[in-house]
Amino acid sequence: MTARYAIYFAPQDDSELERFGATVLRRRATDPEEWLNPDLPVEFPASSDWQDLVQRPAHYGFHATIKAPFELADGLSADKLMADLEQFCHSRQPISLHGLAPIRTSRYDALAFHDQPDALPQLASECVTHFETYRAPITQADIDRREPAKLTTVQRVYLEKYGYPYILDDFNFHMTLSGRNDHDDASYLDWLKRLYQSMITQDPVLDRLCVFYQPDRTTSFVRIGEFVFGT
C-alpha cells in the first residue's frame, strides 16, 4: 500500500479547540496509536458506545479537510509539498470560525456551520487547485469506495477530476466527530453540544494548515507539518 498525504486544518496544540477535539476523539494527531482517557467536564451518556462512535474520525485525526488524502505524484516529495504549503500559507490571513458548533450533517455529527463564512470555501478551492499537481491519479478502487452512484453529477465530475467529490461549490467546512449517521443516538449529539459550550470560551480561528501523513491505509494519520498564516 502507498503512503497518503492530506492538507488539513488542525488547531494549535493545547488550544481550546484542540483540547475539545482530543477529548471527543480520545486521540491527538501527533500519535497514531495512543488512546486518551480524558477527564470530562460533561459526563458522557451511559447509553452511547464512545469507541464505536469515534473510531472512524479518530483514525483521521481531529481536522477539517482542505485537500483530501492523496498519494503523491511521481517525482514529487513530502519535503517539496511542505515547502510549497509553507509559501501558500505565508500570504493568508486568519479566518474567524464564529458560529462553529456541533450539528448533525447529512453524513456525520460534526463541528460545522449553518452558514459558513465565504472565506472558507475560497481558501479550500485555492488549496485544492494549487496542490493538484502533487496528487497521483485516483485509483478505481478509491472511486468505487466513494459510491459514485450516490453522488450528484457535479460531485462525480469532481471525484474523477480532483480525486474527491466535496470540493469547490460543494465544499462545506466540518470537523467530523462521529462515524456515518447510521445511528440514532441523540444523546451523543446533545453531549457534544454541552461539551463544546463548556470547553470553548472564544471563537476559534483557522490560522494554519497542516500536512497529515498515513504510511498505509490501516495506520492512523499523523500530523507531520503545520504552517501558520502570515509567517
Residue 182 confidence (pLDDT) above 80:
no
Residue appearing with cell numbers 486518551? 36
What's the start-to-end Cα distance of the chain, in Å? 35
At CB < 8 A and 24+ separation, what contacts does 213-220 make?
213/3, 213/4, 213/5, 213/78, 214/3, 214/4, 214/5, 214/6, 214/69, 215/3, 216/1, 216/2, 216/3, 217/1, 217/4, 218/1, 219/32, 220/27, 220/32, 220/33, 220/58, 220/59, 220/60, 220/61
Contact 9, 62 (CB under 8 A): no
Residue 102 predicted with pLDDT over 80: yes
Which pLDDT belongs to residue 100?
98
- Cβ 45 vs Cβ 188: under 8 Å: yes
- Asked if pLDDT for residue 19 goes beyond 90, the answer is yes
Cell digits of residue 56: 472512524
For the entire predicted model, the pTM comes to 0.95
Count the alpha carbons within 13 Å of 82 in the hemisphere toward its beta carbon.
13
| Residue 1, pLDDT score | 56
Structural domain range at position 148? 4-228
Using pLDDT thresholds of 50, 70 and 90, give the confidence band for residue 181. low
Tell me how many domains the chain contains.
Answer: 1
In CATH, what number is assigned to the domain containing residue 105? Answer: 3.90.1140.10
- Is pLDDT of 113 > 60? yes
Least confident of 36-40, 121-125, 159-163, 166-170: 36-40
CB 198 within 8 Å of CB 92: no
pLDDT (0 to 100) of residue 22: 94
Q: 106 or 75: whose pLDDT is higher?
A: 75
Q: Show the cell assigned to 205.
A: 480561528
Strand partners, 174: 112
Mean pLDDT, to the nearest integer, of 127-147? Answer: 95
> Which one is predicted more confidently, 203 or 184?
203
Neighbouring residues of 149: CB distance < 8 A, sequence distance ≥ 6: none
